[in-house]
Structure 1
Amino acid sequence: MSENERDDHTGVETTGHEWDGIKELDNPLPRWWLWIFYACIAWSIVYWVLMPAWPGLNGYTRGLLNQSDRGDVVSELNALQAQRGRGEAMLVSASLQQIEADPDLQAHALAIGQSVFGDNCASCHGVGGAGAKGYPNLRDDVWLWGGSLEEIEHTLQVGIRSGHADTRMSMMPAFGRDGLLTGAQIGDLTEYVVALSGRQADRAAVARAAPLFAENCAACHMPNGTGIRELGAPNLTDREWLYGGERSAITGQLTNTRNGVMPMWGNRLSPGVIKALAVYVHVNAGGGEPSLVKVEAPAP
């Protein structure tokens, strides 16, 4: 019977495996590794006996401890729901002003509001409510439809262009797409809007666009461009732009329009949670009245 080859340097037998002149030694596994391996086997046997482990045709083995993670989660959720239910009952019975005036109620509302905002609102408005292009910034004081506690609560309940019977609704025409204005007229109106916001604009284009603005835009945005908050018509004289204030963005809005949609939360969130969310937005974001700078339409 032939003996296995031994390594000349270590005296250890080889396994017979060789690659590129390198031979594998048949060293035993370290003792510490073997003990850990055996301990793991022993632990697994104990675990199989004590904990749910083996699937079967009619369920699974429950184990001597009858442990159930699903049951633990259900118990914790029920306890949390009971705790929130007590707090929500207090929120429902209090007015929005009372909630903000009471430190304990406000703290409870802010805790709920932060959680609900993160789950439902942050994907559009950002984690801090700063918004993005096409999604309003909730941290300033530029509020369409109003930024009071009651107005924020109502907007949360009915949404914006959401399909609710009382939804916040405004609809800007697509002047270019629907053939209401020519490309040249839209170009002139773009210069007019640029001038309204206090920037340098083509004076001739502004003069040509004055009657166009009066005929097509002033009913919602007011003759001086300051907008009508209750109609959701933005103030064109400030530097706050939902879809961008550069000329290409203004032209795009005039040509094709964008009318964003906010869901109605009244059918998804309870009244107490909506109150908490309104308080959270009002306290941590702007929540103030919009700044309407009264300026006259630019002279030709």
Structure 2
Amino acid sequence: MSKAPKKFDNDPSTTGHEWDGIEEFNNPLPRWWLWVFYATIVWGIGYTIAYPAWPGISNATAGVMGWSTRAIIAADLKEAEDKLAPINAKLEAAELTEIASDPELGPYAVSAGSAVFKTWCAQCHGSGAAGAKGYPNLLDNDWLWGGDIEAIYTTISHGIRNEDDDDARYSEMPAFGELLEKEEIDQVVNFVMSLSGEAPDPSLVAAGAVVYEDNCSACHMEDGTGDREQGAPNLVDAIWLYGGDYDTLKETVTYSRYGVMPPWSRDASSAGRLTEAQVRAVSAYVHQLGGGE
């Protein structure tokens, strides 16, 4: 049985509750604390009336002041666009080949193109544009569709193998696993590897050359240097988009590859995301990275 606490004459009254012999004094809150508490209630009610506050199904209450962070950002963006409108108009009107030599347009295009690249292109091509497996390196001179600024501009505008733009770059390699015997695939892979290095099985190279001539030379050319008009890769420079080891090349020949790039120009396709000035700027940026021709 718990011992009742000692009481004094000057003790305040209790709340009337008791827990295991423990009673709670009925001390009122300080008046200053109460007034602050009431003030926060009033402030909170006023805030929810004046500003966006209560979430709904599709949006929040707007508030009587009509304040919006999105509207502020939109206004800031509109102000920036208005300031850049003259030079963007000049960029859109300029010949692509003359942008780099223009003392005003050249630096602007590279700076603006860098921002576009980091926002829209770096996810696939890397922040430094060195690419990754299946995503082209933009720093070298190996270009499937051409590396001059006009070719780069066309590729960015319309994309590659997409279904959104009728002018997209398009090529399709057959899945030779459905057309060739397994030994023929082994032979042609050894031949292709011999074009830029050493074949794993040199005894298969001669037979592979015959398979190559019959099935691959129409696109990759007889000497293996490829054809940019068809988007057919160069097979003699030891630069490989998906990898140049035996297993990877065998997989490529057997199943084919089908990389897709979206169209970026709004003018070229409704699916495009970039303005004409932005497409030209990022084209100039990519072209000057070191691999542009």
Compute the TM-score of the two structures, normalised by the length of structure 2: 0.77
**Residue 242 of structure 1 aligns with which residue?**
241
**Residue 295 of structure 1 aligns with which residue?**
none
**Corresponding residue to 1:273 among 262, 278, 293:** 278
Write the mapping of 1:249-264 to structure 2, written as runs, cut at 5 A: 249-264=248-263
**Residue 188 of structure 1 aligns with which residue?**
187
* CA shift for structure 1 position 52: 5.7
2:167 maps to a residue whose letter is: D
* CA shift for structure 1 position 263: 1.4
Q: Distance in 2 between matches of 1:55 and 1:153?
A: 44
* CA shift for structure 1 position 247: 0.5
- CA separation of 1:165/1:53 partners in 2, compared to 1, >3 Å: closer, same or farther? closer
- CA separation of 1:67/1:246 partners in 2, compared to 1, >3 Å: closer, same or farther? same
Matching of residue 175 in structure 1 with residue 179 in structure 2: no
2:64 maps to a residue whose letter is: R
- Does the Cα contact within 8 Å between 1:55 and 1:61 map onto a contact in 2? no
Count, aligned residues: 273
* CA shift for structure 1 position 154: 1.1
**Residue 110 of structure 1 aligns with which residue?**
110
- Does the Cα contact within 8 Å between 2:191 and 2:199 map onto a contact in 1? no
Deviations 1:26-62 (A, max 9, x none): 9x9xx9x999989967875785687565789x95542
Structure 2 gaps of 5+ residues are 6-16
Write the mapping of 1:28-47 to structure 2, written as runs, cut at 5 A: none
* CA shift for structure 1 position 286: 3.2
Q: Distance in 1 between matches of 2:137 and 2:232?
A: 16
- Does the Cα contact within 8 Å between 1:88 and 1:272 map onto a contact in 2? yes
Give the secondary structure class of the aligned counterpart of 1:209. Answer: helix
Q: Distance in 1 between matches of 2:252 and 2:279?
A: 32
* CA shift for structure 1 position 218: 1.3
**Residue 207 of structure 1 aligns with which residue?**
206
Q: Distance in 1 between matches of 2:235 and 2:263?
A: 27
**Residue 140 of structure 2 aligns with which residue?**
140
* CA shift for structure 1 position 173: 1.2
Q: Distance in 2 between matches of 1:234 and 1:134?
A: 13
Q: Distance in 2 between matches of 1:16 and 1:81?
A: 70
Give the secondary structure class of the aligned counterpart of 1:230. Answer: coil
* CA shift for structure 1 position 270: 2.5
Residue identity over aligned pairs, in percent, reads 44
Give the secondary structure class of the aligned counterpart of 1:153. Answer: helix
Write the mapping of 1:85-124 to structure 2, written as runs, cut at 5 A: 85-124=85-124
**Residue 287 of structure 2 aligns with which residue?**
282
Q: Distance in 2 between matches of 1:257 and 1:182?
A: 15
Q: Distance in 2 between matches of 1:249 and 1:221?
A: 18
Compute the TM-score of the two structures, normalised by the length of structure 1: 0.75
- Does the Cα contact within 8 Å between 2:50 and 2:63 map onto a contact in 1? no
* CA shift for structure 1 position 215: 0.9
* CA shift for structure 1 position 272: 1.8
Q: Distance in 2 between matches of 1:131 and 1:55?
A: 42
Give the secondary structure class of the aligned counterpart of 2:176. Answer: coil
- CA separation of 1:52/1:235 partners in 2, compared to 1, >3 Å: closer, same or farther? closer
- Does the Cα contact within 8 Å between 1:99 and 1:105 map onto a contact in 2? yes
Give the secondary structure class of the aligned counterpart of 1:121. Answer: helix
* CA shift for structure 1 position 170: 1.9
- CA separation of 1:17/1:241 partners in 2, compared to 1, >3 Å: closer, same or farther? farther
**Residue 153 of structure 2 aligns with which residue?**
153
RMSD: 3.7
